A and B are shown apart, each in its own frame.
Chain A
């Protein structure tokens, strides 16, 4: 889907030389010209803002992911809500919770942090969305990392208590009471986060959640958040499947990657009912202006996800793209690295070559 003009021409040339009949070759040439024009159309840079006026992101606020590595979930949540708003899907004011996307996307034995945008969207389609206000309430007195740490601490304590009691039963044949107090302490912990009583899981629900996730901490978090959100879940099964292209498998050429990325971005940002574009890229490019795209598959890349929300032509004819991170509205941090930052939104303008060389993949909903 994201083939560049060069790739299309190369493909047609390969077929052209294999054909023997002149008629077929003529038809192929006409089809190729038509396809090339269509591909090239809209590939010029334009002044576009999807976060202003009636754009799909106009009513979606700037987020702050705090100190948790869930950038991909914040991107996914905003792509989903932008699509819902622009396609007039039900309840547009109920924003998707990135926290729920994070817990639904965590692998069963993976550490919290790091994931893929398209996986988060696919899980949202399957499990549904949760109103962001519900999980905001849960985290209102703790930041995300503290909430997860404290919740898991109580969960581990509960498991240890179960094992201790089980051992005691074997040794003494004594019938002990149930783990009532351990469950209550977990429930109290949730209440202390500011969660209203009507959202608190009952002791029976908590018991079920823990039994279903015995030894799997990520499943525990996922089930806990799902239970809290159960009365405010949105059906997202009618969302289209996300379209993603990761280009790390292709032969490496930084400038070709930059060119290809910009052609695709320009087209996606200007097509009818344009949607914001999720971008997975090497975050090192934001702090190192000399980063040329190497290496792209190591820790040095500092893999990160953000959203491209607009573009503009510069006086020298090059293109700049407007990026929205989930780091709040401040500009001191980006400006420290010489980045052009928009006051009040924290969104940053990046030269096309710079972001293009660092791009690992693009994800959209259409």
Chain B
């Protein structure tokens, strides 16, 4: 069986296993980002952050080598936490968690770079 991701459709729920527990995420169509379910109904830090497009100078670390650069944004610049989510096919992805427990797939954080 091949590992193909089930592409997120609008309002389709995606389950990631994070630290042994299943968490529900959803594709927010307005922001075109996969965020924690609570963000879909209420304002949250994850969505507020995505509104700050092109505000961070990422030139010093935005390249492919040692560290996943979007994780650098989450950990070092936003002072949030990274956890690894595993989808139903076993594929891994970094998820950035904020103080209000909202979260967003770390890959989306690249849009806040200039």
Query: Which residues of chain A are within 8 angstroms of B102 by Cβ–Cβ distance?
Result: none
Q: Is the CB of B63 within 8 A of A64?
A: no
CB < 8 Å neighbour of B63 from A136, A284, A326, A345: A284
Residues of A contacting B20 with CB < 8 Å? 137, 140, 194
Interface residues on B, range: 35 or more
B107's partner among A71, A284, A331 (CB-CB below 8 A) is A331
Specify which of A60, A333, A345 is in contact with B69 (CB 8 Å cutoff). A333
A284 contacts across to B, CB distance below 8 A: 63
B107 touches A67 (CB 8 A): no
Task: Assess the A67–B19 pair: CB atoms within 8 A.
Answer: no
Asked whether, in the complex, the Cβ of A343 is within 8 Å of the Cβ of B110, the reply is no
Q: State whether B67 touches A69 (Cβ < 8 A).
A: yes
User: Of A30-38, A50-58, A165-173, which stretch is located at the interface?
Assistant: A50-58
Q: Is A40 an interface residue (CB 8 A)?
A: no
Report the bound CA distance from A52 to B1 in whole Å: 8
- Closest-CB distance, A281 to chain B (whole angstroms): 10
Give per-residue flags for B60-76: 1 if the beta carbon is below 8 A from chain A beta carbons, else 0.
Answer: 00111111111110010
The answer to whether residues A287 and B3 also contact, given A64-B93, A66-B94 and a CB cut-off of 8 A, is no
B84 touches A143 (CB 8 A): yes
Q: Beta-carbon contacts of B69-91 to A below 8 Å, as 1s and 0s? A: 11110010000011110110111
Contact pattern, A 271-304, Cβ under 8 Å of B = 1, otherwise 0 = 0000000000001101100000000000000111
Task: Decide if A333 touches B65 in the complex (CB within 8 Å).
Answer: no
Contact B111 A61 (CB under 8 A): no
| Stretch from B4-12, B22-30, B40-48 contacting the other chain | B4-12
Interface Cβ pair total, 8 Å cutoff: 127
Residue of B nearest to A336 (CB): B110
- Within 8 Å CB of B6, what residues of A? 344
Q: Indicate if B51 sits at the interface (CB-CB under 8 A).
A: no
* CB contact under 8 A between A330 and B70, given known A60-B3, A62-B3, A343-B5: yes
- Asked if residues A328 and B94 are in contact (CB atoms below 8 Å), the reply is yes
In the complex, whether B55 has a CB less than 8 A from a CB of chain A is no
For residue A92, CB closer than 8 A to chain B, the reply is no
B15 on the A face (CB < 8 A) = no
| Known contacts A52-B2, A330-B105; is-contact A287 B67 (Cβ 8 Å) | no
Residues in A with CB closer than 8 Å to B82 are 66-67, 143
Rounded to whole angstroms, the CA-CA distance of A331 and B111 in the bound complex is 12
- In Å, the complex CA distance between A136 and B68 comes to 18
Residues in A neighbouring B92, C-beta threshold 8 A: 61-64, 328-329
B19, B68, B72, B81: which has the most chain A beta carbons within 10 Å? B68
Chain A interface, number of residues (Cβ within 8 angstroms): 46
List of B residues within 8 angstroms of A326 by Cβ: 68
Contact B19 A194 (CB under 8 A): yes
A143-B84, A328-B94 known; A304 vs B105 contact (CB < 8 Å): no
A283 and B108 alpha carbons, distance in the complex (Å):
21
Q: Which residues of B contact A303 (CB under 8 A)?
A: 65
Q: A52-B2, A58-B2, A67-B75 are in contact. Are A329 and B64 (CB under 8 A)?
A: no
With A67-B68, A302-B64, A303-B65 given, is the CB distance from A53 to B2 under 8 Å? yes
The smallest C-beta distance from B27 to any residue of chain A, in angstroms, reads 12
Q: Residues of A contacting B39 with CB < 8 Å?
A: none
Tell me whether A160 is interfacial, beta carbon within 8 Å.
no
* A68 sits at the interface (CB 8 A): yes
Q: Give 21 pairs: A residue, B residue, CB < 8 Å, sorted on A.
A: A51-B2, A60-B3, A62-B93, A64-B93, A65-B68, A66-B94, A67-B72, A69-B65, A71-B66, A286-B64, A287-B63, A303-B65, A328-B92, A328-B107, A330-B93, A332-B107, A332-B110, A332-B111, A336-B111, A336-B113, A345-B5
